[in-house]
A = this chain, B = another copy of it.
Amino acid sequence: MSGHRLQDVLHRVREGRMSVEKAEAEIRGFEDLGFGKVDYAREKRTGYPEVIFGLGKTPDQVLAIFARLYEKHGRVMVTRAERETAERVQGDFPEAEYDPMSKLLTIGRTERRFAGTVAVLSAGTADLPVSEEAARTAEWMGNPVERIYDVGVAGIDRLLAHRERLQEASVVIVVAGMEGALASVVGGLVRRPVIAVPTSVGYGAHFAGLTPLLGMLTSCASGVTVVNIDNGFGAGYAASIIQQAILEG
C-alpha cells in the first residue's frame, strides 16, 4: 500500500468516514469475517479478484463474502453454487445471474476484452456442465469463447472438420471424460497452449475421472497441461492468465 493511499485511509478513519474494521482490511489486504478472511489484495497480486469456491460453504457464508467482494470490486463469481445458495444471494442481489448447468453464480464482469479466442472443446454431450463452467469462467474474465462440443475421437472426422478454427484460437481447453483421448489428438494439431480437463463422466474402470486424468497427464502430445477432475473453472482461469500474459506482453 502506497504512502499516499495509507494517509487517505487514516484520514478517513480520523474523520469517522471509515470504520476501524474497514481500515484494517484496507491496510492488511484482507478482512476477517470470523469464519473466513476475504482476500482484497488478490487482484493486485494475481490480476483477478478472489473467486468464491462454493463447495462446503453455507449459503449465509457465501452471501457474506459475496457482499464484501461486490462492495470492493463491483464484480463477483461463485463456483459450484447450489440452487439454494444462488437463491439466497439473489435475494439480496437480484441482478446476480445463475446458470444451473455450470453452477456458476456471477455479478458484473471484467471490462477488459482480450483479442484472441479461447476454444473450449468437449468430447461428449455429458461433458457439458464442465465445459460450460470453463467457457463461462473465461467469458466472465474477458475472453471471447469458441465452443466446439461433442467432437470425441471415436468419430475423428468431426474433430478434423474443425481443424482450422482450432488453429486460430489463442488458448485451447479440452474437456473430456471416458478415456480423455481428445487431449492427445488436439495437442498434436495446434501450436497454442492446450489445457486439459478430465471429467467424472463415465463408469466402471473410469473411477470417477481418474482414468482420463492419468491419460491426460501421460499424453503422448507435448505441451498439454492438466487441471483437476471437473475443474472447468481452473481451466478457464488458467486460460485467462495466459491471455493476460499475451496482452501485457
Contacts and interface: CB of A to CB of B under 8 A. Distances in A.
A83 interface: no
A158 to B, nearest CB: 5
A39 B152 CA distance: 11
A245 B249 CA distance: 10
A220 interface: yes
Given A153-B220, A215-B215, A181 B178 contact: no
Contacts of A170: 245
A189 interface: yes
B229 A234 contact: no
Interface in A48-72: 48, 51, 53, 55-57, 61
B151 A37 contact: yes
Contacts of A219: 154, 178-179, 181
A110 interface: no
Nearest to A207: B214
Contacts of A188: 42, 45-46, 153-156
A228 B203 contact: yes
Contacts of A212: 215, 218
Nearest to A79: B222
A213 B220 contact: no
Contacts of A226: 217, 225-227
Contacts of A160: 156
A197 B38 CA distance: 23
Contact of A231 (B28, B149, B195, B204): B204
Contact of A46 (B61, B153, B191, B216): B191
28 contacts: A30-B155, A30-B157, A35-B128, A37-B158, A39-B155, A42-B155, A45-B191, A48-B222, A53-B124, A57-B126, A152-B220, A153-B184, A154-B185, A154-B187, A154-B188, A154-B222, A156-B188, A179-B179, A181-B181, A192-B245, A204-B218, A204-B230, A205-B228, A214-B214, A223-B234, A225-B227, A242-B245, A245-B246
The 7 A-B residue pairs whose C-beta atoms are closest, nearest first, are: A56-B126, A204-B229, A181-B181, A225-B225, A154-B188, A179-B215, A154-B221
